[in-house]
Amino acid sequence: MLQTTSATPPAASGIAHPEGVSADEFRAALARLAAGVVLVTAHDPDDGPRGEDVGMTATAFLSVSLEPPLVMVSVRNDSRMDDLLARQPLWAVSVLAEDQRQVAARFAMKGRISDRLLFADVPHAHGAATGAPLIDGALSVLECRTEQRVPAGDHTLVIGRVLTATAPSTDAGPLTYFRGRYRQLG
């Protein structure tokens, strides 16, 4: 059994959960886990006469299964992306390259009204399988269809079957997120 101790009493670092770890302690501990950065996208056909493209930066993305090919992304409950993926089963993921920090930051902004302007000057194409935006210059792009949604605390885990996967030839490295900042390997 793994036991952990904290030098700071839970009351001093925020409100503790019944199990004893506070949100601040949890956030600080996981900030030390480097993660790849992706842009999750979908097309909302119900927003306006031609619909609207929607995007969300995520670091909680991973491969789930090879057979069948499944991936998972964690989305915050009641966010625009959560609401959209609850009714739109088709979405995509662009694995961002180290030079796409501005794209990640742009789609990580909270409280924005519309994504239309955010996509305006980001080179992209719409996927044939999903209609979702696929970011040019990404290390890889995957088009997915939701297989399962799993409630998990204040997030929902969206598990998607990979319909298409493309990994263009590039020497670029991945964009990563570590200790609250976007970083490059090396």
CB 61 within 8 A of CB 128: no
Question: Which two three-digit tokens encode residue 72?
Answer: 């998972």
This prediction's pTM = 0.86
At 116 the pLDDT is 82
pLDDT, one tens digit per residue, over 139-182 is 999 999 999 999 999 999 999 999 999 998 888 999 999 988 98
pLDDT in tens, 5-17: 444 444 444 555 6
Stretch (H or E) spanning 146: strand 140-152
